[in-house]
């Protein structure tokens, strides 16, 4: 999948849906529109949040090349965004 533009900001609808909100932002960056509530459902988001394993699985099922990694935050920004 080719990214269309910088990843847009998505607001969480609750304290526990940061995973689906981040996934929705990534999808939007690739030009894919997704329903926030549906993402919460397919990610099995509950009062404890969302499993990173499930997020990776859902992202892959939606066509993203997903992999769990730990990075310093400064590695997340494109030079064009600075």
Q: Which residue has the higher pLDDT, 74 or 55?
A: 55
- How does pLDDT run across 8-61, given as a tens digit for each residue? 888 898 999 999 999 999 999 888 999 999 999 999 999 999 999 999 999 999
Domain boundaries, the chain: 18-81
Label residue 75 by pLDDT band (50, 70, 90): confident
Q: Is 49 helix (H, G, I), strand (E, B) or coil?
A: strand
pLDDT reported for residue 78: 63
In this structure, which topology does domain 18-81 adopt according to CATH?
Cathepsin B; Chain A (3.90.70)
Q: Is residue 80 over pLDDT 80?
A: no
3-state secondary structure 12-37: CCCCCCHHHHHHHHHHHHCCCCCCHH
Q: Rounded CA gap, 50 and 13, in Å?
A: 14
Q: Is residue 4 over pLDDT 80?
A: no
């Amino acid at each position: 999948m080719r990214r269309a533009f910088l990843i847009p900001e998505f607001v969480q609808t609750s304290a526990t849906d940061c995973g689906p909100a981040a996934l929705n932002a990534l999808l939007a960056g690739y030009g894919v529109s997704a329903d926030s509530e549906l993402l919460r459902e397919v990610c099995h988001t509950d009062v404890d949040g969302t499993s990173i394993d499930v997020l990776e699985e859902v992202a892959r099922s939606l066509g993203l090349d997903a992999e769990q990694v730990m990075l310093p935050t400064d590695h997340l920004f494109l030079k064009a965004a600075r």
